[in-house]
Amino acid sequence: MTSRKKSQIEMDDLLNLLAEFDVEKQSSDVELEGLATPEIFDDCREETLHQNDILKTDAVKISASENSQIQEAHDDACANKLFSELDNIIQNQEVDMELDEQGPKKKLNFEPLKGPPFRCAGCFEVIEDEMCRTEFSIWHPDHFRCIVCDKTLIEDTFYEIDYKLYCHTDYELQFLQKCTMCGGFIYDEMISVNGKHFHPEHFTCNNCSKSLKDNQYFTRESYFYCGECFGKKWGEKCTKCGKTITGNFVKALGGTWHSDCFTCKTCKKTFTGGVFRTFENNAYCELHYHEKRGSICFNCEKPIVGEFVSVGDRKFHPDHFKCSYCKKKLTETTYVEFNEKVYCPSCVDTLVS
């Protein structure tokens, strides 16, 4: 048995006991023995039996009026004890009212009942006769109605949200969305796309009826299509591979490419951050673009951006134009070529001698 059901049973037993303590005291004796009460009421039952023994043994000494006062005081004490226990159960009973996933979700707590008298959740007046009790509130039977259409709900399905009652029809109209495909109300899981709502099983390709839940889809004129159907009808062809493009693509160099097909012409790698260089109408990464243009530093083998020093068909970063032997910085007028390398004049003399 769940803790919630156990708490509900205990509360029902308490309310049954409290009913015995009515305002008019129709019966001066409280019959506790016949009720299936929890163990928490043993003390009250023992006190009742003990009190009866006192009344019987001391009947000579106690007058009838005094006897009645003692019994009434004891009844009040037992009632107060039961009310206190009821408050504890209600305060500790936290109820999660889970509505359908796409409806409003509320977490409600019972407020401690201070009665009797009990008050109607509709009019807040004291309930003196019959009452309707839901999991969350208590009502006059005449006030147990839909807050929207005023229809009585005593024998009908009802929904209670924020202590307000709704009939089945108004609950749907107030809190549920309609499926764009079938027109029915959505009670459970819902898929929402572009302001439209679907039962998961009704979110399908407009052409082949393939489920689009957890799959890639495309929109065209407010309709939804799977990648294959969309590509056949409206997809462009990849400039490189010639296949229909249904996913991510790149528009460049006058063509449309699959993202994986748009690569450096030399190393075939995709472009980091989408940055590429063009040379003779082809796409290159930074390194191979400069390689094609002959702008790679002969010393560090990295692209040259900005100023450079040119020696024949070789180029250098200005800071990298150094003697290959002593690493002294050279100028365009103070270097000597030897075995396809550059040196300062003194180092060449040393190497040659």
User: Torsions phi, psi of 223, nearest 5?
Assistant: -110, 160
Say which CATH architecture domain 249-293 belongs to. Answer: Ribbon (2.10)
* The CATH fold of domain 132-175: Cysteine Rich Protein (2.10.110)
User: Residue holding tokens 């006062």?
Assistant: 69
CA distance 5 to 127: 26
Per-residue pLDDT of the chain (353 residues), as tens digits, is 444 445 555 555 655 555 554 444 444 443 333 333 444 444 444 444 444 444 433 333 444 455 455 455 555 555 566 556 555 554 554 333 333 344 333 332 334 444 567 889 999 988 888 888 888 888 898 999 999 999 998 888 888 888 899 999 999 898 888 998 899 998 889 999 988 999 999 999 999 999 999 888 888 888 999 988 888 888 788 988 988 887 788 888 889 988 889 999 989 998 877 789 888 889 998 888 877 777 788 778 788 877 778 777 778 888 888 888 888 888 777 788 877 788 888 887 777 76
> d(Cα 205, Cα 225) in Å, to the nearest integer?
4
pTM across the whole model: 0.36
Q: How many residues in the chain? A: 353
Does the domain made of 191-234 have the CATH classification 2.10.110.10?
yes
Rounded-to-integer distance, Cα 202 and Cα 17, Å: 53
Q: What 3-state class would DSSP assign to 190?
A: coil
Per-residue model confidence (pLDDT) at position 27: 43
Q: Which CATH number fits domain 309-350: 3.40.50.1370, 3.40.50.300, 2.40.30.110, 2.10.110.10?
A: 2.10.110.10
What whole-number distance in Å separates Cα of residue 78 and Cα of residue 86? 12
**pLDDT for position 284:** 92
Burial class (CB in 10 A: 0-12, 13-18, 19+), 96: exposed
Tokens of 248: 């991510």
Where does the chain have alpha helices with state H? Answer: 3-20, 42-57, 64-92, 168-175, 227-234, 286-293, 345-352
Q: Tokens 């509505």 correspond to what residue?
A: 99
Joined together, the tokens standing for residue 63 give 């007058």
Query: What is the residue extent of each domain of the chain?
Result: 132-175, 191-234, 249-293, 309-350
Q: What is the pLDDT of residue 54?
A: 40
Token readout for 208 is 């082949």
Q: Which residue has the tokens 């147990």?
A: 144
